[in-house]
Amino acid sequence: MRITVCLTQTRPEPWVEGLRAALPDADIQAWEPGAPQADHAVVWAPPQDFIDAQPGLRGLFNIGAGVDALLQLKLPPETQVVRLDDAGMSVQMAEYVCHALIRHFREFDFYEAEAREGRWAFRKPRERADFAVGVMGLGVLGERVARAIGQFEFPVNGWSRSPKAVEGLRCFAGEAAFDDFLGASRVLVNLLPLTEATRGILNSRNLSRLNQGEPGGYLINVARGAHLVEADLIPLLDSGQLAGATLDVFEVEPLPADHPFWRHPKITVTPHGSARTMREASIAQIAGKIRAIERGEPVAGVVDPKRGY
């Protein structure tokens, strides 16, 4: 069995070494133009030239959860795309979102500013019942995040494409329930995949519906930059309709130095690191799936190109 590794923005060598250790019988190489046809590929943002040069791949293993960039390429119809299925990401995402939520709810920015001035000042405690959190996307990451938020006793709403029943969550499904979901949520967490149906979903119309249309909504976007209509955000913040936003992902990454999000007082920016790929866990998962596929067994995380995730 031959496996090729084609990673942009990531050094392939540690992946090649790790995969060789996990699959000692396979021939595993970093891809170079002219390399022979492989059975499987381990990829991150590969160029179209790579796909065109490897038309007979059976499995294309993405070293991330989101496959939006991969699905932009022209892929051979027989090639199965497999996304990373947690592999250490969901706990990171839960940490990140709970941190952003609690930082906002407990007004830590206020206390930090007061502490810098040496002031001992209290704010009136807020009621968590007034801070219902809506999690968009109840997949591998969204469900874990929703459960983690529930541990802090916030009311939690979840929205997915297909109906779900998750203990402790008020679940909404499909477009018809979207406005009700938004209205019932004050803090919105985006964990949707980027598809034709979800591109631009964080826009002025939808964000204004948070919190039954009352001012004070808060946005946490940890999925993809193109979910947010960036030009809509600052007017909502400046008018007070939204109280703030924590953004980990952007239309253009790295976020350009002159982008207004960097300096806006109500926006917290992080550099697309809310849930990083953990190399050891990912290699173990991908190697396990390759072994299962070779035995003719089904694997989790197979992407449906028509659905887009």
Site for ligand GLV, rule CB under 6 A:
64-66, 277
Site membership for ligand NAP, residue 249 (CB under 6 A): yes
**Residue nearest ligand GLV, CB atom distance:** 64
- H or E element, residue 146: helix 140-151
Partner touching 225 among ligand GLV, ligand NAP, none, CB below 5 to 8 Å by kind: none
DSSP 3-17: EEEEESSS-SHHHHH
Largest CA distance in the chain: 68
Annotated active-site residue in 144, 161, 224, 227: 224
Which of 189, 253, 263 lies closest to 225 in space, CA to CA? 253
66 vs 244 by CB, closer to ligand GLV: 66
**144 contact choice in ligand GLV, ligand NAP, none (CB below 5 to 8 Å, kind-dependent):** none
How many chain residues touch ligand NAP (CB under 6 A)? 29
Do residues 136 and 191 make contact, with C-beta atoms less than 8 angstroms apart?
Answer: yes
Using CB under 6 A as the binding rule, whether residue 193 contacts ligand NAP is answered as yes
Residue 103 designated active-site = no
Cα–Cα nearest to 188, from 231, 262, 137, 251: 137
Under rule CB under 6 A, which residues in 73-112 are in contact with ligand NAP? 89
Q: Which is nearer to ligand NAP, 176 or 257 (CB)?
A: 176
- Which CB sits closer to ligand GLV, 191 or 210? 191
Would you call 272 a catalytic residue per the annotation?
A: yes
DSSP state of 124: P
Q: Which is nearer to ligand NAP, 26 or 67 (CB)?
A: 67
- The answer to the question of residue 141 lying near ligand NAP (CB under 6 A) is yes
Verify binding: residue 147, ligand NAP, rule CB under 6 A.
no
Buried b (16+ CB within 10 A) or exposed e, 8-35: eeeebeebbebbbebbeebebbebeeee
281 to each of 15, 194, 231, 278, how far by Cα in Å?
Answer: 11, 24, 38, 6
The residue among 60 and 222 lying less far from ligand NAP, judged by its C-beta, is: 222
Residue 34 CB, nearest approach to ligand NAP (Å)? 33
- Residue closer to ligand GLV (CB basis): 135 or 169: 135
| CB 136, min distance to ligand GLV, A | 15
Q: 8-17: long-range contacts (C-beta < 8 A, 24 or more apart)? A: 8/44, 8/45, 8/46, 8/47, 9/44, 9/45, 10/44, 10/63, 14/279, 15/42, 15/63, 15/279, 15/283
User: Between β-strands 217-221 and 156-160, what pairing exists: parallel, antiparallel or unpaired?
Assistant: unpaired
Q: Which of 5, 94, 135, 140 binds ligand NAP (CB under 6 A)?
A: 140
Residue 247 has a CB neighbour count (10 Å cut-off) of 25
Which residue is it, tokens 């930059």?
225
Structural contact between residues 19 and 286, judged by C-beta atoms closer than 8 angstroms: yes
Which of ligand NAP, ligand GLV, none does 211 bind, CB closer than 5 to 8 A by kind?
Answer: none
Cα angle value 278/284/286 (rounded, 5°): 95
Residue 167 CB, nearest approach to ligand NAP (Å) = 16
Q: Report if residue 223 touches ligand NAP, rule: CB under 6 A.
A: yes
Catalytic machinery residues: 224, 272
Residues of this chain that bind ligand NAP (CB under 6 A): 65-66, 89, 137-142, 159-162, 191-195, 197-198, 222-224, 248-249, 272, 274-275, 309
